[in-house]
Amino acid sequence: MAELDPSPLSLATHGSSHFVRFYKDDSLLLDEVAPFVHQALAAGGASIVIATAEHLVALRRRLARLQAEAGGSDPGARLVTRDAGQTLSSFMLDDWPDATLFDATVGQLVRALAADLATIHAFGEMVALLCERGNYSAAVRLEELWNELARRSRFTLFCAYPWSQFPNAAMADTFRHVCALHDHAAHCAAEAPPSRNPEQRLLELEQQALSLSAEIARRRAAESALAQRERELADFVENAAESIHQVGADGTILWANQAELRLLGYRWEEYVGHHIADFHADAPVIADILARLKAGDTVRDMPARLRCKDGGIKHVLISSNGHFADGALRYTRCFTRDATERHQRDEAQAQREALMAELAASSRAKDEFLAMLGHELRNPLSPILTALEVIRRQGGHSVAHDIIGRQLTHLIRLVDDLLDVSRVNTGSIVLKTEALDLAQIIDKAVEMVAPLLDNRQHRFSVDVQGPLPVRGDHVRLVQIIANLLTNAARYTPPGGDIRLAASGDREHLYVSVVDNGIGIAADALPHVFDLFYQDRRTNTDRSAGGLGVGLALVNNLVGLHGGGIEAHSAGPGQGSEFRVRLPRLAQAA
- 417 contacts 550 by C-beta, under 8 angstroms: yes
Indicate the burial class of 347 (C-beta count within 10 angstroms; 0-12, 13-18, 19 or more). exposed
Q: Lowest-pLDDT range, 391-395, 477-481, 503-507, 509-513? A: 391-395
- Cα gap 273→248, rounded to integer Å: 10
CATH architecture, range 430-583:
2-Layer Sandwich (3.30)
- The DSSP-derived string for 466-505 is S--EEEEEHHHHHHHHHHHHHHHHHTS-TT-EEEEEEEE-
**Minimal CA–CA distance to 146: which of 132, 165, 128?**
128
* Cα–Cα distance measured from residue 372 to residue 422, given in angstroms and rounded to the nearest whole number: 9
- In this predicted structure, the answer to whether residue 377 has a pLDDT above a threshold of 80 is no
- In this model, does residue 224 exceed pLDDT 70? yes
- pLDDT at 573 (0 to 100): 93
What ranges do the domains of the chain cover?
3-186, 243-338, 344-422, 430-583
> For 186-219, how does the pLDDT look when each residue is reduced to its tens digit (9 = 90+)?
655 544 455 556 665 566 566 667 767 777 888 8
Mutual angle of helices 136-152 and 172-180, in 10-degree steps: 10
Distance CA 32, CA 123 (A): 11
pLDDT in tens, 238-277: 888 889 999 999 999 999 999 999 999 999 999 999 999 9
- Can you give the pLDDT at residue 541? 47
Q: Please, where are the H alpha helices in 4-52?
A: 8-13, 26-42
What is the model's pLDDT at position 60? Answer: 92
pTM over 0.85: no
Q: Which of 544, 536, 543, 539 is nearest to 515 (CA)?
A: 544
Domain 243-338 has CATH 3.30.450.20: yes
Cα separation of 478 and 470, whole Å? Answer: 13
Please report which confidence band the pLDDT of residue 398 belongs to, taking 50, 70 and 90 as the band edges: low
> Which residues of 383-532 form beta strands (DSSP E)?
433-437, 459-464, 469-473, 497-504, 508-515
pLDDT at 345: 87
Please determine, for residue 543, whether its predicted confidence score (pLDDT) is greater than 60: no
Q: What is the pLDDT of residues 562-581, one digit of tens each?
A: 999 999 999 999 999 999 99
Of residues 185 and 508, the one with the higher pLDDT is 508
Determine the Cα–Cα distance for residues 114 and 157; give it in Å rounded to an integer.
13
Flag the least confident range among 44-53, 86-95, 168-177, 328-337: 168-177
134 DSSP 8-state letter? T
Residue 485 has pLDDT above 50, yes or no: yes
Contacts of 524 (CB under 8 A, 6+ apart): 535, 536, 537
From residue 244, alpha-carbon distances to 241, 263, 264, 266, 318 in Å are: 9, 10, 12, 14, 10
Please give the residue that has the higher pLDDT: either 414 or 286.
286
Pairing state between β 433-437 and 469-473: antiparallel
For the stretch 40-49, pLDDT in tens is: 998 889 999 9
Q: Which of 100-114, 320-334, 423-437 has the lowest mean pLDDT?
A: 423-437
Q: What is the biggest distance separating any 2 CA atoms in the chain, rounded to whole angstroms?
A: 162
Instruction: Name the residue among 300, 294, 297, 299 with its Cα closest to residue 327.
Output: 294
The CA-based angle 81-86-89, given to 5 degrees, is 135
CA 113 to each of CA 79, 80, 157, 492, 516: distance values in angstroms, whole numbers, following the listed order: 10, 10, 14, 135, 134
Pick the CATH number of 3-186 from 3.90.950.20, 2.60.450.10, 3.40.50.300, 3.40.640.10: 3.40.50.300
Mean pLDDT of 337-346: 86
pLDDT at 526 over 80: yes
Helix, strand, coil share (%) of the chain residues, nearest 5: 55, 20, 25
CA gap 541, 430 in Å, rounded? 35
- What is the rounded CA–CA span in Å between residue 334 and residue 318? 7
HSE at residue 427, side-chain half, CA atoms within 13 A, is: 1
* Backbone φ, ψ for residue 343 (5° rounding): -65, -40
What CATH architecture is 344-422?
Orthogonal Bundle (1.10)
How does the average pLDDT of the chain come out, rounded?
85
Dump pLDDT digits (tens) for 60-93: 999 999 888 887 777 777 899 999 999 999 999 9
- Separation of alpha carbons 254 and 250, rounded Å: 10
**pLDDT value at residue 391:** 75
Question: Among the listed ranges 289-298, 380-389, 398-407, which one has the minimum average pLDDT value?
Answer: 398-407
Indicate the pLDDT class of residue 542, thresholds 50, 70 and 90: very low
Supply the pLDDT for residue 206: 65
Q: CB within 8 A of 339, min separation 6: which ones?
A: 303, 315, 316, 317
